[in-house]
Amino acid sequence: MRSVLAGLVTAVLAGVVLWGLVTGEAADRDRVEALGSRIRCPVCQGESIADSPTQYARDIMAFVEEKVEEGWTDEQILDYLENRFAGIRLDPRFSGGAVLLWLLPAAAAGFGVVLAARRLMRPRDIPGRGKPMSEPDE
């Protein structure tokens, strides 16, 4: 009985925590960190401003924190930074050009497979095939 009660209490507490995670709003600091991990450091090679040790990245993080406190949305902050620094997003926006870049190599590979299959399936010229058999010598 005791183990059943402990299991029930654990399940209820896990449900409360899960409900809080799903419905609760992220704290401003969590939001700043999430935004910082989506923004590329302008001076580092492929690193986010949240992970970069440079002063420039810390300044941008301070700017993001300031704008979050002022009530700017994530998109407003990202758009502002994108207008100021080209290619600052680590997760670029979805565009038709991006789809094309993903589909072109797949299409080229498919085309190559079709060409190879056609080449392997085509009948080969077998020597002597199609020629009449010579008459046997008597």
> Mean pLDDT, to the nearest integer, of 60-82?
92
Report pLDDT digits (tens) over 112-138.
999 999 988 887 766 655 555 566 655
Residue 75: closest CA among 117, 31, 124: 31
pLDDT confidence band for 87 (50 / 70 / 90) = confident
Report pLDDT digits (tens) over 21-57.
676 556 778 889 999 999 999 888 889 999 999 999 9
pLDDT of residue 68: 92
- Asked whether residue 67 carries a pLDDT value surpassing 60, the answer given is yes
Please state which architecture CATH assigns to domain 25-88. Orthogonal Bundle (1.10)
Domain ranges for the chain: 25-88, 94-119
Q: Does the pTM of the predicted model rise above 0.85?
A: no
Report the distance separating Cα 67 and Cα 31, nearest Å. Answer: 11
